[in-house]
Structure 1
Amino acid sequence: MPPMGFNGIVTKAGFMDKTVTVTVSRWVIHKLTGKRIERSKKYLIHDEKNQLRKDDLVTIRNCPPISAMKRFRLERLLKSPATERDIARAQIAQAATSTITAGRKTISLTS
Structure 2
Amino acid sequence: MPKRILQGTVTSDKNDQSVTVLVERRFTHPVLKKTIRKSKKYRAHDAENSCKVGDVVRIQECPPRSKMKRWEVVTTA
Task: Tell me the TM-score normalised to structure 1 length.
Answer: 0.67
Gaps of 5+ in 2: none
Q: Note the 1:1-111 alignment, pairs <5 A.
A: 2-13=2-13, 15-78=14-77
In structure 2, the residue corresponding to 1:50 is in which secondary structure?
Answer: coil
The aligned amino acid for 2:11 is: T
Look at both structures and tell me which one has the larger radius of gyration over its CA atoms. 1
When the two chains are superposed, the root-mean-square deviation of aligned CA atoms in Å is 1.0
Deviation at 1:2, TM superposition (A): 3.9
- Larger helix percent: 1
Stretches of 4+ moved more than 2 A in 1?
A: none
Distance 2:38 2:73 in 1: 21
Listed one character per residue, the Cα deviations across residues 8-67 of structure 1 (whole Å, up to 9, x for unaligned) are 100111x21111100011101112211000011100010001111000010110000000
Larger RCO (CA under 8 A, 6+ residues apart): 2
Gaps of 5+ in 1: 79-111
Provide the identity percentage: 40
- Larger strand percent: 2
Task: Tell me the TM-score normalised to structure 2 length.
Answer: 0.94
